[in-house]
Amino acid sequence: MKVQNICCIGAGYVGGPTMAVIAKKCPDIKVTVVDINQERIAAWNDENVDNIPVYEPGLSAVVAEARGRNLFFSTDVDKAIDEAEMIFISVNTPTKTYGEGKGQAADLKWIELCARQIARVAKGDKIVVEKSTLPVRTASTLKDILTHTGDGLSFQILSNPEFLAEGTAVEDLMDPDRVLIGGDQTPEGLNAIQALVDVYARWVPKDKILTTNVWSSELSKLTANAYLAQRVSSINSLSELCEFTEADINEVARAIGTDSRIGPKFLKASVGFGGSCFQKDILNLVYISRSYGLNEVADYWEQVIIMNDHQKRRFAKKIIKNLYNTVSGKKIAFLGWAFKKDTNDTRESAAIYVADHLLNEQSFIETYDPKVKKEQVYTDLDYLGSRSSEENRKNLTVGTDPYKVCEGAHAVAVLTEWDEFKTYDWKRIYDGMLKPAHVFDGRNILDKEALRSIGFQVHAIGTAD
Ligand code: NAD
Ligand code: UGA
C-alpha cells in the first residue's frame, strides 16, 4: 500500500518538526498537521517563518520549503483524519497530576480523545501510528477503542516512537541513528509496517529501520530515555564525590568515556537534566514496574530521579553557602532558562527549580535567555505554586540584555549551556557586579582560569572549588 495522505494530530515539538521533515523528503505525500490549539496552528502558519512556535536550528528553512506545497497546518482535525490513510498521534502524554497514579503514571486522556475522534470520523480503513511516547501495552487500549466504535472498519496500530532530541531535531530527523517501527505480526500488521517503512526509506538507509512487535517498540522508547537519563544521573552523582576529593569530573568523564564500551556521549555533569520527557518517562517506567509488583525494578529506576532532584537542590544550596549562607535581598543573575541550548523549550528545566529554591530564601533574581519569552518564565514559576504570581513578578525579573541582567549582582549562575555565554565580555560583566563577584557554572562551559584572572570567584560542577 502506498501512502498518499498523512495526518498528524499534535503540532508540538515532535509533531511539527517530524512532519516538516517527512513533507520535505516526500514531496508527493500530502502531510497535514492538526491541533486543537488555534494559536499554535496560527503560529505555524505565520507568514514570517521565523515566528513558528518551535525554535530549532534549521527548522524554519524546512518549513519554508514544504509549507503550502505538501505541508499544511490546520485546526480542522476531522477533515484531516478523513482524508488520511495514515494518522500519526503526536499529542502530549504528561505525568498525571490527579487521581490514581498521580505524580507517576502517564496521563493518556489526550491519546484516548484522539482514538475516539478517529473512530468517530473514519469512513475507511486507517493505519494509526503512535508517535507519542506511551506506556507499554497502550496499543491494545487504542485497538479496543477503535474497533468498538469504528463501524467494523479495520485499524492497524503501529508504534513509531520518536528519538529526536530538542536543539538538534532537524539533524536527528534527517539522519537518525535508527527508526523504530513496531506492529502486529499478522499479514495485515506486516503490511502496515511496510507502508511506514516505505515512507522512511525515502531518506533513511534500510538497515537503520528496525521493525519489531508493537510491545518491544513501545517499551524501547521508555527505556531508551531511562538509559540516557541514567547516564546523566550517574555522572552527576560522581560530580558531588569529585567536589570532596579533588578529582575533576571532566577528567573522570574523559577517562571513562574513552572506554568504547562506555562511550563519550552524555557524560556532561550539569545542574541536572530537564526537558519534558526524561522525568515523565522514568516515572512512568517506575509506575508500570510497580503495577506488576516489581518493586526492585521500580526502585532502581526511581533512583535516577532522586539523584536528579538532589543535583538541582545541591546547586542552589551551593550558591547560598558561598554567598555567606544567605541570599536574602541579594541579586543573582541567571544566564539561561531553557532546559538545554538551542531550544525555546523550558519544560522541567533545572533553572525553574533552582530559582524556586533561591526565591524561597528571599533572593532577587534577574534572568536572561536568548530564546525564552518573559511570559514563559513566569508561567513556569507560577505553575509550581510556591508563592503568588505577584511575588514571582516582584522578586524575579526577565531581561533582554545579558550585561544589564548581571549589573549589580552578587553572583551569576549559568543554567543553560548556550554558546553565546562563552563569548561574552566577562571583564565588562565583572566590572558591573558587586564584589566579591561569584560565577556558578552549572554547565561547566566557561573558562575558569580566564574568569579567575579577571577576579571572579568561580564555582563549577564536579571540581573542588
Ligand atoms: P507538545 O505539548 O509540544 O505538543 C502536543 C500537542 O498536541 C499540543 O500542541 C496540543 O495542543 C496537541 N493536542 C493535545 N490533544 C489534542 C487533540 N485531542 N487533538 C489535537 N491536538 C491535540 O508535546 P511534544 O513535546 O511534541 O510531545 C508529544 C509526544 O512526543 C509526547 O508523548 C512526548 O513524550 C513525545 N516525545 C517528545 C520529544 C521531545 O523532544 N519533546 C521527543 C520524543 C518524543
Ligand atoms: C531526550 C532524548 O535525548 C531523545 O532521544 C528523546 O527523543 C527525547 O528526550 C524525548 O523523548 O523527549 P531531549 O530531552 O530533547 O531529548 O534532550 P537531551 O539532549 O536528551 O537532554 C536532556 C537533558 O539532559 C537536558 O537538560 C540536558 O542538558 C541534560 N544533559 C544531557 C546533561 O545534563 N548532560 C549530558 O551529558 C546530556
376 close to ligand 2 (CB < 6 Angstrom): no
Q: Per-residue confidence of the chain (465 residues) as pLDDT tens digits? A: 889 999 999 999 999 999 999 999 999 999 999 999 999 999 999 999 999 999 999 999 999 999 999 999 999 999 999 999 999 999 999 999 999 999 999 999 999 999 999 999 999 999 999 999 999 999 999 999 998 765 778 999 999 999 999 999 999 999 999 999 999 999 999 999 999 999 999 999 999 999 999 999 999 999 999 999 999 999 999 999 999 999 999 999 999 999 999 999 999 999 999 999 999 999 999 999 999 999 999 999 999 999 999 999 999 999 999 999 999 999 999 999 999 999 999 999 999 999 999 999 999 999 999 999 999 999 999 999 999 999 999 999 999 999 999 999 999 999 999 999 999 999 999 999 999 999 999 999 999 999 999 999 999 999 987
Q: Which residues line ligand 1 (CB under 6 A)?
A: 9-15, 34-37, 40, 77, 90-93, 110, 113-114, 132-133, 162, 164, 166, 276-277
Give the integer Cα–Cα distance in Å for 455 and 460.
15
Q: Which amino acid is at 314?
A: R
For residue 105, give the C-alpha cell: 503514571
- b/e 186-204 (16+ beta carbons within 10 angstroms → b): eeebeebbebbbebbeeeb
- Identify which ligand lies nearest to the alpha carbon of 113: 1
Cα dihedral 71→73→79→83 (10° resolution): 20
Domains of the chain from N-terminus onward: 5-204 (3.40.50.720), 278-460 (3.40.50.720)
Cα dihedral 436→442→447→451 (10° resolution): -10
71: left (phi over 0), alpha (psi -120 to 50) or beta: beta
- Identify which ligand lies nearest to the alpha carbon of 109: 1
User: In three state form, how does the secondary structure of 26-76 look?
Assistant: CCCCEEEEECCCHHHHHHHCCCCHHHCCCCCCCHHHHHHHHECCCEEEECC
Q: How far, in Å, is the centroid of ligand 2 from the Cα of 272?
A: 10
Pocket test for ligand 1, best of 14, 162, 168 (most atoms within 8 A of CB): 14
Residue nearest to atom 12 of ligand 1 (CA): 10
Report the pLDDT value the prediction gives residue 151, as an integer from 0 to 100: 73
| 152 annotated among ligand-binding-site residues | no
Give every strand in the sheet of 155-159, ordered side by side. Answer: 71-74, 30-34, 5-9, 86-89, 126-130, 155-159, 179-183, 209-213
Q: How far, in Å, is the centroid of ligand 2 from the Cα of 433?
A: 33
Q: Is 292 exposed, middle or buried (0-12, 13-18, 19+ CB in 10 A)?
A: exposed
Report the pLDDT value the prediction gives residue 442, as an integer from 0 to 100: 98
Pocket test for ligand 2, best of 273, 342, 444 (most atoms within 8 A of CB): 273
Q: Give the single-character DSSP code of 207.
A: G
Name the phi and psi angles at 390, rounded to 5: -65, -45
Pocket test for ligand 1, best of 74, 128, 277 (most atoms within 8 A of CB): 277
Q: What's the start-to-end Cα distance of the chain, in Å?
A: 62
* 3-class secondary-structure state, position 88: strand
Q: How far is CA 19 from CA 53, 131, 156, in A?
A: 14, 11, 20
* Radius of gyration, alpha carbons of the chain: 24
Q: Given 7, 242, 277, 406, which residue is catalytic?
A: 277
Q: Which helix (H) or strand (E) holds 245?
A: helix 214-245
* 3-class secondary-structure state, position 77: helix
Give the integer Cα–Cα distance in Å for 250 and 427.
25
> Which residues share a beta bridge with 34?
9, 74
Q: Confirm whether 7 is a catalytic residue.
A: no
Q: Is 418 exposed, middle or buried (0-12, 13-18, 19+ CB in 10 A)?
A: buried
266 close to ligand 2 (CB < 6 Angstrom): yes
- Identify which ligand lies nearest to the alpha carbon of 92: 1
For residue 338, give the C-alpha cell: 531553557
Give every strand in the sheet of 364-368, ordered side by side. Answer: 396-398, 364-368, 331-335, 411-414, 438-441, 457-460
Name the phi and psi angles at 334, rounded to 5: -105, 125
Q: Which amino acid is at 346?
A: T
> If you search the block for the grid coordinates 482524508, which residue do you land on?
83
The DSSP secondary structure of 96-143, one letter per residue, reads P-SSTTTTTSB--HHHHHHHHHHHHH--S-EEEEE-S---TTHHHHHH
| 333 annotated among ligand-binding-site residues | no
Report the pLDDT value the prediction gives residue 465, as an integer from 0 to 100: 78
What length does the chain have?
465
Q: Which long-range contacts (CB under 8 A, 24 or more apart) does 113-117 make?
A: 114/9, 114/89, 115/89, 115/141, 115/142, 115/145, 115/146, 116/145, 116/149, 117/9, 117/77, 117/78, 117/81
